[in-house]
Amino acid sequence: MPDARVTLKQVAARAGVHVSTAWRALKNDTYVEASKRARIRALAEELGYTPDPMLTALSNYRRKQAPVAFQSTLAWINNFPMREQGRTLVNIAGCHEGALRYATQMGFKLEEFWLAEPGMSGKRAREVLLARGIRGLVFAPQPLSGTELNIDIEAFASVAIGFSLSAPRLHAVANHQHNATLRALRELAKLGHTRIGMVAANDTLRRANHSFESPYHFFQAVQDEAQRVPLFAIPGRDEPGNIARARDDFLAWFKRHRPTALVSHVGEVRGWLEAAGHSAPADVSLATLSRVFDPTWSGIDQQESEIGRRALELLVSLFQSGERGAPATPLRLLVEGRWIEGDTTRRIGPPAKALLERLS
């Protein structure tokens, strides 16, 4: 006969604690003192304890069948210097909508927490969050790429949206940006385009860990040299004042390289081209990598609502499994974008079959 399964009750008895305390410790719940958690977890491993998969499945089934009850409060971390900025940007608002909807479905309350509030420090933020009973954090996209936050997250389950938060390093959910650019290039090649340019602000490229432009450089590398068009990168951030200063340089770049199509993060280029006598799509096809900003363009719907939903789904999973603090190995969950035809692209010839084969 095989040995009987070690039960949670036996682990608790050997540790000299209540079953609920043992359960919390094995979930890595920070309500249990760290040293006690470590002792109970080590003892469970020594005894050979593993959760019963059938009981776990039954518990999950019962939870799904039961009416949704309030579980806990989670925090949506807004780190913009002006609170409204983190609410009104349409891409972030889309992520928040998806996150809020999923949280509500699962019985969680999602509260905004403004990290840049006057007088708010990392230490103070931790104290306030714990005082409110909040143990799960979702970090919205940051104002700048490479943002580092001085906040102790050891007591919290945490997930980031996008890659603009560089410290602490967390599990992150984002659009599959590499695939978004590759898809846009392929769709333009199907329309006969081979001279394709790309326009973006440097900070936008850095925010995506350079996932947006890497397929573009690959695309240029497999092109015949005569068809290659260099990337037009605008120094600094994608914000109106900075973008406007690039207008003349962009038009000079466009005149010099004469692309028949552009993949762009910068919606202003359409107006610049039209003012210079170039109509889209009659003279140049335009494809955006984020239709939430340019909804009439052909291009990629990044599915911001789905990104927010998946971020909360991952956060709830971490919260319920007891994973706290910065992970040793951060996960990257990528949400595929969708190509949608708008009014800014047109066919100029047969599909560029040789180019498409190189991009396959």
pLDDT tens digit string along 78-98?
999 999 999 899 999 999 999
For the question of whether the overall pTM of this predicted structure is more than 0.85, the answer is no
- Confidence at residue 5, expressed as pLDDT on a 0 to 100 scale: 78
- Confidence at residue 67, expressed as pLDDT on a 0 to 100 scale: 47
Tokens of 102: 């999923």
- The mean pLDDT of 246-265, rounded to a whole number, is 97
Above 90 in pLDDT, residue 28?
A: no
Sheet holding 285-288, edge to edge: 232-234, 196-201, 261-264, 285-288, 298-301, 338-340
- Confidence at residue 360, expressed as pLDDT on a 0 to 100 scale: 84
DSSP symbol at 337: P
User: Strands (DSSP E) along the chain, which ranges?
Assistant: 72-78, 108-114, 136-139, 147-148, 157-161, 165-167, 171-175, 196-201, 232-234, 261-264, 285-288, 298-301, 332-335, 338-340
Above 60 in pLDDT, residue 311?
A: yes
Fold for domain 8-65? 434 Repressor (Amino-terminal Domain) (1.10.260)
Residue 83: name the closest of 128, 120, 125, 116 by CA: 116
User: What is the percentage of the chain residues whose pLDDT exceeds 70?
Assistant: 93
Residue 54's pLDDT band (cuts 50, 70, 90): low
**Rounded distance, CA 31 to CA 142, Å?**
30
- The mean pLDDT of 189-217, rounded to a whole number, is 95
**Rounded distance, CA 319 to CA 157, Å?**
5
CATH class of 177-302+339-358: alpha beta
For the chain, what is the mean pLDDT? Answer: 91
Residue 40: name the closest of 77, 12, 62, 59 by CA: 12
Residue 36's pLDDT band (cuts 50, 70, 90): confident
More confident residue, 67 or 110: 110
- Confidence at residue 48, expressed as pLDDT on a 0 to 100 scale: 85
pLDDT tens digit string along 162-197?
999 999 999 999 999 999 999 999 999 999 999 999
pLDDT tens digit string along 87-132?
899 999 999 999 999 999 999 999 999 999 999 999 999 999 999 9
- Confidence at residue 1, expressed as pLDDT on a 0 to 100 scale: 39
Listed by start position, the domains of the chain span: 8-65, 72-169+305-335, 177-302+339-358
Q: Do 8-65 and 177-302+339-358 come out as alike in CATH topology?
A: no
Fold for domain 72-169+305-335? Rossmann fold (3.40.50)
Residues in the chain: 360
- The mean pLDDT of 281-298, rounded to a whole number, is 97
Tokens of 216: 């573009």
